[in-house]
Amino acid sequence: MAMRRNILHSIFLLPLMAVSALPQRPPTVAEAQAFMNRAEAELLRLGIAGQRAEWVAETYITDDTQLLTAAANEQIIKRTTELVNEGRKFESLPLPPDLKRKFLLLKLSLSMPAPNNPKLREELTQVSSSLGADYGKGKYCPADEKPKCYGIDDLEEKMAKLRDPKKLQDMWAGWQKVGAPMKDRYARFAELSNAGAKELGFADTGVLWRSNYDMPPEAFSAEMERLWTQVEPLYKELHAYTRRQLVKKYGAAAERKDGMIPAHLLGNMWAQEWGNIYDMVAPPSAPATYDLTQILQSRKKSPKEVVQYGEGFFKSLGFPALPASFWEKSQFTRPADRDVVCHASAWDIDTQDDVRLKVCIHDTADDFLTVHHELGHIFYYLSYKKLPPMFQGGANDGFHEAIGDSIALSITPEYLKKIGLIEQVPPPAADLPLLLKQALDKIAFLPFGLMIDKWRWEVFSGQVKPAGYNRSWWQLREKYQGVAPPVDRTEADFDPGAKYHIPSNTPYARYFLAAVYQFQFYRAMCREAGYKGPLNRCSVFGSAAAGRKLQAMLAMGQSKPWPEALKAMTGEDRADAAAMVEYFQPLLDWLKQQNKGEKIGWTPAADPLKAR
């Protein structure tokens, strides 16, 4: 056999060399179009198969479903990488704008780029799948409740209500243990993903991610910091006020000389949203208002009914009803017989009408808002389904996250009265407590939304090594959030892994951008609806004019650079947090009055892992 291979080689070598020496005919625009047509069709087929496998993997966690979704993802990554490399020969052609944009989007389509080497690619997809499964199977088992264990959705509900600082600390520390076993695999994941990004022509995976915003990566980093600078004064006033109220409630358990807030006392596992502690920080003289969680629970609203409220809002704007299959195939509650990933997510299975919601709904105000957020994704999917596959996406990923939240801003007392959830609209004097409650979620979220990807960008670039993962994580959290771990942390811990978006490799800058965009979208819809009063009192429920404005932008999908989509909706082509500041201006004025004589800000530790 060895001799036969040598003979065949000698037979074909000279003709091959002769052919390669011939001048190569340059490719044509027609060939580029034909290539893209084939690529879109093939990736659509693979994408649908991958979505189905991923759906099963997240709603029925087993070793087998992990392997199936890893295999499907490997095929998508493999073929996408091949197509990107094949398409490079068309890059120098003067392509029509739409076709040129498709080639750009193809190149940027992988949030998890993989090496061309089949073994390394398979390893990457399996590592990625195992990280996501570890998070989904994660449990905290309190020592005093054995054998009772809690998944993260149950823990979030408990943390929202618990007011015992010691139990909160135990719960916080118990959940963080989910991340520790992931650390080495995450380091390998970053290494392999970077190798794939470099083969595509990017310095690392973080650079690839930041290239997705119709501007140079370094300009995008600066843009994020610019937006943060606009809202940082409001955050610091909110932080100072909240800190003082927590010290009043918890005493020594909340008080720190450095001015930071212990992360376990803010009503949320990651201290990313603080609305759950509103009862402890509410203005003492505020007029009585409503408790949406209590209303939903007293009326025994089912998970399906909660989702129907969200659908009803979009229908009031002129959107069509959700497909029947949505109600048949979605997951609204945690099944009793198996592990699932309960983190809320919206799914576009076939890029047409098979859209689904995966969530474990509890009858809380948070979940009421979450449903509106996730349905924003669903109606975005349905709005751009007629576009070519490469344009079926948000103008950027921040747009996708902002749509439902811009609708949720219209969940005002007037809206709740219209749909029968409250009987009386609170007086204008109640606006301040409502604004405070919103700020505890939306403003408190901003620094967390910023630092997640700043951490990953530094990991991907190599600026942060595996030996410093946890230290860097807490340095950023202390710098931007002003929160500190309630118990000592070490590099044996991997606290990033206890946040879903890290093991699931979901880029996070989108959420920060969405927090800004939603107020721009909302203000534009309010203006279109003819609203003239204070921005925070506007609800566009039932406004066909606002709905047409929104639908026109959603139907553009990803076919144009995002500044064009933003301008179509708002008349502005630059992200601007001014609408957010305008919305919360009455609260900012009040906070400044409350904080007179109070230290504004905090002093991050030189080394957050050293015992203090």
Report residue 588 CA to chain centroid gap: 27
Q: Which pair of tokens denotes residue 150?
A: 């809690």
Going by the DSSP 8-state scheme, the letter that residue 601 receives in this structure is S
Q: Are 600 and 256 in contact (CB under 8 A)?
A: no
* Percentage helix, strand, coil for the chain under 3-state DSSP, each rounded to 5: 65, 0, 35
Predicted local distance difference test score (pLDDT) of residue 93: 94
How far are the Cα atoms of 29, 103, 191, 196, 347 from residue 80, in angstroms, in the given order? 21, 12, 19, 11, 21
Q: How confident is the model at residue 4, as a pLDDT?
A: 38
Burial of 350 (0-12, 13-18, 19+ CB in 10 A): middle
Q: In angstroms, rounded to a whole number, what is the distance separating the alpha carbons of residues 480 and 264?
A: 17
- The DSSP letter of residue 130 is H
Whether the ω angle into residue 118 lies within 30 degrees of 0, i.e. cis, is no
Instruction: Determine the Cα–Cα distance for residues 340 and 331; give it in Å rounded to an integer.
Output: 10
The residues spanned by each domain of the chain are 27-130, 139-285+437-498, 297-412+509-584
* CA 499 – CA 445 distance, rounded (Å): 14
CA 290 – CA 284 distance, rounded (Å): 15
Comparing CA positions, the residue from 360, 302, 307 lying closest to residue 334 is 360
DSSP characters over 327-390: HHH-B-S--SSS----S-EEEESSSSS-EEEE----SSHHHHHHHHHHHHHHHHHHHTTTS-GG
Residue type at position 463: Q
Q: What is the pTM of this model?
A: 0.87
Q: How confident is the model over 219-243, as pLDDT tens digits?
A: 999 999 999 999 999 999 999 999 9
* Nearest residue to 512 via CA among 567, 474, 471, 456: 456
Q: How far apart are CA 27 and CA 309, in angstroms?
A: 53
* Other C-beta atoms lying within 10 Å of the C-beta of residue 20: 8
User: Which amino acid appears at position 534 of this protein?
Assistant: P
Rounded to whole angstroms, how far apart are CA atoms 537 and 357? Answer: 29
Cα–Cα distance measured from residue 508 to residue 496, given in angstroms and rounded to the nearest whole number: 13
Q: What pLDDT does 426 receive?
A: 87
Helix (H, G, I), strand (E, B) or coil at 602: coil
Please give the DSSP secondary-structure letter assigned to residue 203: S
Q: Which residues of the chain have pLDDT under 70?
A: 1-23, 611-612
- Contact 265/253 with Cβ under 8 angstroms? yes
pLDDT at 13: 33
Residue 477 DSSP label: I
Active site residues: 374, 501
Q: Is residue 479 within 8 Å of 604, Cβ to Cβ?
A: yes
Per the prediction, the chain carries an average pLDDT of: 92
User: Helix/strand/coil (H, E, C) string of 277-324?
Assistant: HHHHHCCCCCCCCCCHHHHHHHCCCCHHHHHHHHHHHHHHCCCCCCCH
For the chain, how big is the Rg over CA atoms in Å?
25
What pLDDT is attached to residue 18?
40
247 vs 8: CA distance, rounded Å: 82
CA–CA distances in Å: residue 285 to residues 63, 288, 438: 55, 9, 18
Give the pLDDT of residue 14: 33
